[in-house]
Amino acid sequence: MPLSHSLAALLVTTIWGLSFVVIKLGVGAMPPLLLAALRFLLAAVPAVLFIPRPKTGWRNVVAYGFFLGVAQFGLLFAAIALGMPASLASVVMQAQVFFTILFAAVLMAERPRPHQILGGIVAGLGLVLIAWPRMTGGGAGPFLMTVVAAACWGVANIVSKRAGRVDMLGYIVWSSLVAPLPLLGLSLWFDGPDRVIDALTRMDGGTLAAIAYLAYPTTIFAFGVWAYLLSRHPAATVTPFALFVPVAGILGSTLILGEALHPIEAVGGAVIVLGLAFNVFGGRLMRRPLSG
């Protein structure tokens, strides 16, 4: 993968890592499913009035919008609202790397290369090191919801790959239009109309800023770039970059939310970066002895 694409992937994962902090702040001010609905509403409207629909089937657009918007983020926002720490959520969500590679191998016959498998194993060890001290005292429900959300992200990655080389900005904007109504309906069901109306009428500048961050840098820009990269490179090459998300998420959670950073988590973060580096550059390193 070209260096410019690698740097773009790292920028995306940094934005995503910090988004967990924003989500934690946002669900403290309004119901989680309502927050998710507003995020995708702002991402879709008014952009759909100016950006052409992507040249792919409606089924693909709707499937991506459902698995990414309703399933992944509905579950993630709810899990964080139920007590999942932002830093731990940023770690667990990276199980999407392994779900995506698995789904790509089964459904699209993509076989990861040896150095990518080794890099994934190393990075997976880093995830275990980070998650281990956080698991004590954490609720099983929010944790399992986050794992299922990661699997839904993996499905969304495969759906976007099947869309092929389409206009990714249009793809993200139009698929974002799928999520608001189902998420709003779920919020009305779980939270009740009174709470939803109260949250909307009491919305302040901080909440609006959180929604804007989740809608524009996190959704339109980051997922647009991510889908672009997945359309041009194997899933096993692109998705491991997401293992940097917990590094940014933990640092942001520590500095902004005051969540404790355990020494083992710092070690785990370094291991993740090592696994990521081997995934990106390992192929060249393994070829050098053969060419020399």
Cα separation of 54 and 163, whole Å? 9
Which tokens is 125 given?
Answer: 């060890």
Q: Structural domain boundaries of the chain?
A: 3-291
Query: Per-residue pLDDT tens for 88-109?
Result: 888 888 778 778 878 888 888 7
Which tokens is 93 given?
Answer: 């969500």
Closest C-alpha to 95, from 246, 202, 225: 246
Which tokens is 83 given?
Answer: 């007590």
Give the list of residues 6+ apart from residue 272 with CB closer than 8 angstroms, or none.
Answer: 123, 126, 127, 130, 243, 244, 246, 247
Give the list of residues 6+ apart from residue 176 with CB closer than 8 angstroms, or none.
Answer: 40, 41, 43, 44, 65, 69, 219, 220
Closest C-alpha to 94, from 128, 53, 137, 54: 128
Give the list of residues 6+ apart from residue 194 with CB closer than 8 angstroms, or none.
Answer: none
Cα separation of 17 and 91, whole Å? 9
Cα separation of 234 and 97, whole Å? 12
Q: Using a cut of 0.75, tell me whether the model's pTM lies above it.
A: yes
Query: Per-residue pLDDT tens for 37-82?
Result: 999 999 999 889 989 999 899 999 999 999 999 999 999 999 999 9
Task: Please give the chain's pLDDT, 292 residues, in tens.
Answer: 788 888 899 999 899 899 999 999 999 999 999 999 999 999 999 889 989 999 899 999 999 999 999 999 999 999 999 988 888 888 888 778 778 878 888 888 778 778 778 877 887 887 788 777 666 655 678 888 988 999 999 999 899 888 888 888 899 899 999 999 999 999 999 999 999 999 999 999 999 999 999 999 998 888 888 878 887 888 777 877 877 888 888 889 888 988 876 787 778 878 887 877 777 667 666 665 544 4
Cα separation of 242 and 94, whole Å? 6
Considering Cα of 5, then 11, then 12, then 17, what sign does the dihedral take?
positive
